[in-house]
Structure 1
Amino acid sequence: MSDLKDAAARALACLDLTNLNEDCTEEDVLALCDRAQTKHGPTAAICIWPQFVAAAKRRLAGTGIRIATVVNFPSGMEEADDVMEMAEQAVDDGADEIDVVTPYPKLLEGHPQEVAAIVRRVRKEAEGAQVKAILETGMLGSPELIRSASEQAIAGGAHFIKTSTGKVPINATLQSARIMLEAIKASDEEVGFKPAGGVKTTEDAAAYLALCDEIMGEGWATPATFRIGASGVLDALIATLDGADAPRAAEGY
């Protein structure tokens, strides 16, 4: 149990507490901000829709909790100029991190360079913010395509590579995580990793931390290099830290 508690504490500190529900309201986001300030310490960030960034910035002032938002989400195929405008506005509103869905349909059509291109543009437009490139690994499917997307996102200057939007049938898996971490390791670049969607229990979080330890080395997975994109797992992590029974795994993201 002590090992699981250690994993829970590590995971909580690396959590991007997320609400990307279609019916999300400003009140929901303010509640999320409050939830992120737990009795066991703060989560690394919250991840929310762009229109709520300014309100979250006010609510989280002085907490040290970062604000992440999403662009080109979830399709990966919005007009590039609109994506850049949204990213720039989000940073102006106070976003610390931009999670951009890469144009994975273009990669599936044989145009992997489109992945690097959009990451590079968002890096430029969102100057001062960290950029996480969402690969949508469940839609890419094959190890070869997941590796290609990872390499292209890293080449474009992504600060993190992220598995998923949480909006498709297959989201984060340990298999895709291994491919992405191996691509980071091979690149010799300082790039972080974020599994998102499907991380619902302390055991799930512990498995991703163990994989990071195996591939990247113990001590690598900190909030600066590793995030978990989830909403439902927070209650499970707190229950583990409290020594209580785990709640029933949450549905959705």
Structure 2
Amino acid sequence: MTEATAAAIAARALPLVDLTNLEDDCKPTDIEKLCRRAVTPHGPVAAVCIWPRFVGQAATQLRGSGVRVATVVNFPAGGIETLAVVEEARAAVAEGADEIDLVMPWQAFLDGRRGFAETQITRVRAACPDATLKVILETGELGDALLVHAAANMAIAGGADFIKTSTGKVKVNATLEAAEIMLTVIEEIRREGGREVGFKPAGGIRTVDDAGAYLAIADRLLGANWVSAAHFRFGASGLLDALLAALDGKEAATGEGY
């Protein structure tokens, strides 16, 4: 990849990043640093994605920056009962969250309890009507392509604004194969006259090459003008350094983390 190509990909990808810290030992000082990083010399990222306990801090620090505040619920295992998840989401929005990343109850889905999984999505949607709702399918745990396809359709039917691959907390996270399936579902719904739905790969996306590969699939399936922060996000912690290095004409080490 030439420097010019890397810089062009980085310029597209940087405003799509949900800059993430979901480490178990995350502290307020880490959130302060994350929020500072979110506003770069090349422009702001799309959002920060953080634990619910830090939403108020991030919302205050980022006010007026253009960076949105995203948080996670039913995270990471996807096994919390629906009433508690709904209250978690409602409290996060009250604290200032703009976006909710909900882990679909994927084990219930695999066990044949699809109604339970869809009900949880619809109830969180109803509780937070003004928040952007991203539903995490945990595609690496679903495994089978047909199950990923079915879960994507179910999440969208339940009210998801975005479908997201992964938590970043399991063995297999974002993959190009899962992206192809999920973006195909989005394209099918759009072709049939349905509403626009976004896509978020997350977990293990660390390099400009990684970002470029996902963007290429979206361009091929949905057209080169479809990708924007309204429709496409990268969930990552290590990717930003690589993007900034490419934009500055430097070579970045592979980023670590989510």
CA distances 1:123-150 after superposition (whole Å, capped 9, x unpaired): 1111210100000000000101100110
Q: Secondary structure at 1:18's aligned position in 2? A: strand
TM-score by length of 1: 0.98
Is residue 217 of structure 1 aligned with residue 223 of structure 2? yes
- Give the counterpart letter for 1:251 in structure 2: E
8 Å CA contact 2:237, 2:256 repeated in 1 = no
| 1:119-175 per-position Cα deviation (integer Å, ceiling 9, x unaligned) | 111111112101000000000001011001100001001000000000001000000
Q: 1:142 aligns with which of 129, 144, 161?
A: 144
Identify the residue that residue 135 of structure 2 maps to in structure 1.
Answer: 133
Residue 188 of structure 2 is aligned to residue 186 of structure 1: yes
Tell me which residue corresponds to 2:44: 42
Letter in 1 for 2:160: A
Taking the TM superposition and a 5 Å limit, the aligned residue runs for 1:80-159 are: 80-159=82-161
Distance 1:114 1:149 in 2: 13
Q: CA offset at residue 198 of structure 1?
A: 0.7
Residue aligning to 2:205? 199
Quote how far apart the aligned CAs of 1:28 are: 0.5
Q: How does 1:59-74 map onto structure 2 within 5 Å?
A: 59-74=61-76
Counterpart of 2:83, as a letter, is D
Instruction: Give the corresponding residue for 2:236.
Output: 230
Alignment partners' CA distance in 2, 1:156 and 1:120: 5
More divergent stretch after superposition (214-223 vs 109-118): 109-118
Q: CA RMSD in A?
A: 0.9
On the 8 A contact 2:109/2:117 being kept in 1, the answer is yes
Alpha-carbon contact 2:241-2:255 (below 8 Å) kept:
no
TM-score by length of 2: 0.96
2:138 & 2:116 partners in 1: Cα distance? Answer: 14
Q: CA deviation at 1:219?
A: 1.1
2:50 partner letter: I
Contact 1:239-1:246 at 8 Å conserved across structures: yes
> Separation in 2 of the partners of 1:28 and 1:200?
20
Aligned: 1:245 with 2:251: yes
Kindly indicate whether the alpha-carbon contact (under 8 Å) linking 1:115 and 1:156 is maintained by their aligned counterparts in 2.
no
Q: Which runs of 5+ in 1 are unaligned?
A: none
Residues 120 and 165 of structure 1, relative CA distance in 2, 3 Å threshold: same
Asked if structure 2 preserves the Cα contact closer than 8 Å seen for 1:16 and 1:43, the reply is yes
Q: Which runs of 4+ in 1 moved over 3 A?
A: none
> Aligned AA for 2:141?
M
Letter in structure 2 aligned against 1:148: A
SS at match of 1:114: helix
CA offsets 1:55-89 (integer angstroms, 9 cap, x no match) = 00110011010000000001111021111111001
The question of whether the paired residues in 2 share the 8 Å contact of 1:172 and 1:198 is answered with yes
Kindly provide the amino acid, as one letter, of the partner of residue 110 in structure 2: L
Specify the SS of the correspondent of 1:145: helix
- Percent identity between matched residues is 53
User: Following the alignment from structure 2 to structure 1, what is the Cα–Cα distance between the partners of residues 143 and 71?
Assistant: 25
Paired residue secondary structure (1:190): coil
Q: Secondary structure at the match of 2:241?
A: helix
